[in-house]
Amino acid sequence: MSSFDEIIAADQRVEPRDEMPEGYRKTMVRQIAQHAHSEIIGMQPEGYWITRAPSLRRKAILLAKVQDEAGHGLYLYAAAETLGVDRADLTERLITGRQKYSSIFNYPTLGYADVGVIGWLVDGAAICNQVPLCRSSFGPYARAMIRICKEESFHQRQGYELLMTMMRGTDAQREMVQDAVDRWWWPSLMMFGPPDANSPNTAQSMAWKIKRHTNDELRQKFVDMTVPQAEKLGVTLPDPELRWNPERGHYDFGEPDWDELKRVISGDGPCNAERLERRRRAHEDGAWVREAALAHARKHAREKEAAR
Amino acid sequence: MSWPLYEVFVRGKRGLNHVHVGSLHAPDAETALHNARDLYTRRNEGVSIWVVRSADITASSPDEKDAFFDPSADKVYRHPTFYSIPDDVPHI
Ligand SMILES: [Fe+2]
Ligand SMILES: [Fe+2]
């Protein structure tokens, strides 16, 4: 067993030093980098609420969650670097707009209930996407996904618990929750990407076993899992076509606005410019820290050398 | 002058991380790799080996273990079990 095709056929993992087709390598670099960028940009919508969360307990939880997302970004950049790319270069590609990140993070967090809805729906959709990626054919990516999936459960549960608490509160709080659900439901469905008929790369990614399920399969799975959770929570999902289909054994649901997805991906969402600008500024404002740390390390290396 | 010490990490099979299995002495990294193969993978225990000079490893100190790992000890809210969700809410 050695050739790439044999490894894939035997459902084994490809490791960084193995020979692999150039297309596979490029796809992996792009997918892992964009996944990493999404984790990093994904800190912003929720990060806004850290100082505004209503109690010390909620601040600590949200801080821990956002910190986890930073960690996810770092695991993933490290996985990409096993393919010979450089994190600084990937960051450059992100802030110059040459590489993308998940469309979901280009929507604003208008109220505190958004924090709960993001944990429930956005992290919930991310879990649906990421669980099968734990068996993705590229070893370092699959291993990063295993670590990440272990941490996502906290993210989703803190969100749902936050929403349950608000739903037990006042009418105004219940309205905030419903309003946040109304705004995040459709963008969450779009997280799985365009419909299969319009997803030209899916077939190749499935053949290479990078992906294990199509976009539409994952979207259906997410809907089926989420509807009963919404019922228990007491919120309405904003889709008049949503209903159980006993023949299919699945929920039927309406078509997301694919033109909106296209617009948001191509840079024209409500917060694209703001997210990128914030990331660019954080990178530039942090330059002196990176330089100072290097200068400090060099100075100590010299002192150690001199002491020998 | 004696040969330096190398730490040996073996990937048991594809898809798994390299795991530390032990150490050995060798005059250089190339020889360490060959010796590690002979010493630690005589029965197909691995598909890949890393060796690294023991002197190049920076390790946390056992004396400082408590202080070092303390910051994560009081953050119970990082665990999913911290949040109580009724049993009749599925898939969460
Ligand atoms: Fe994450
Ligand atoms: Fe998350």
- Better-scored residue on pLDDT, A237 or B65: A237
- The rounded distance, in Å, linking the Cα atoms of A220 and A123 is 16
DSSP A60: H
Predicted pLDDT of residue B70: 86
Across all residues in chain A, what is the average pLDDT? 97
Structure tokens at B12: 């048991």
Predicted pLDDT of residue A246: 98
Q: How confident is the model at residue A2 (pLDDT cuts 50, 70, 90)?
A: low
Domain ranges in chain B are: 5-81
Q: What is the mean pLDDT of residues A208-235?
A: 98
Predicted pLDDT of residue B66: 81
Predicted pLDDT of residue A213: 97
Widest distance between CA atoms in chain A: 78
Predicted pLDDT of residue B61: 87
Contacts of A279 (CB under 8 A, 6+ apart): A40, A41, A44, A94, A95
Q: How confident is the model at residue B73 (pLDDT cuts 50, 70, 90)?
A: confident
CATH of the domain spanning B5-81, picked from 3.40.50.170, 3.40.50.300, 2.60.120.380, 3.10.20.520? 3.10.20.520
Task: Break chain A down into helix, strand, coil percent, rounded to 5.
Answer: 70, 5, 30
Element containing residue A83 per DSSP (H, E): none
Question: Residue A79: how many CB atoms within 10 A of its CB?
Answer: 24
Predicted pLDDT of residue B62: 84
Q: Are A220 and A250 in contact (CB under 8 A)?
A: yes
Q: How far is CA A192 from CA A96, A126, A211, A244, B16, in A?
A: 25, 9, 12, 21, 28
% chain A with pLDDT above 90: 98
CB atoms A143 and B15 under 8 Å = yes
Query: pTM of the entire structure?
Result: 0.95
Minimal CA–CA distance to A223: which of A195, A236, A245, A242?
A: A242
Q: What is the mean pLDDT of residues A110-125?
A: 98
The pairing of beta strand B48-53 with beta strand A250-252:
unpaired
Whether the predicted pLDDT of A191 surpasses 60: yes
First to last CA, chain A: 50
Q: What is the mean pLDDT of residues A265-289?
A: 97
% chain A with pLDDT above 70: 99
Residues of A with CB under 8 A from a CB of B: 7, 12-15, 17, 57, 60-61, 64, 68, 124, 139, 142-143, 153-154, 156-158, 160-161, 164, 225, 228-229, 232-233
Give per-residue pLDDT as tens, A133-147: 999 999 999 999 999
Q: What is the mean pLDDT of residues B70-76?
A: 88
Give per-residue pLDDT as tens, B25-41: 999 999 999 999 999 99
Whether the predicted pLDDT of A27 surpasses 80: yes
Find chain B residues with C-beta within 8 A of A13's C-beta: 14-15
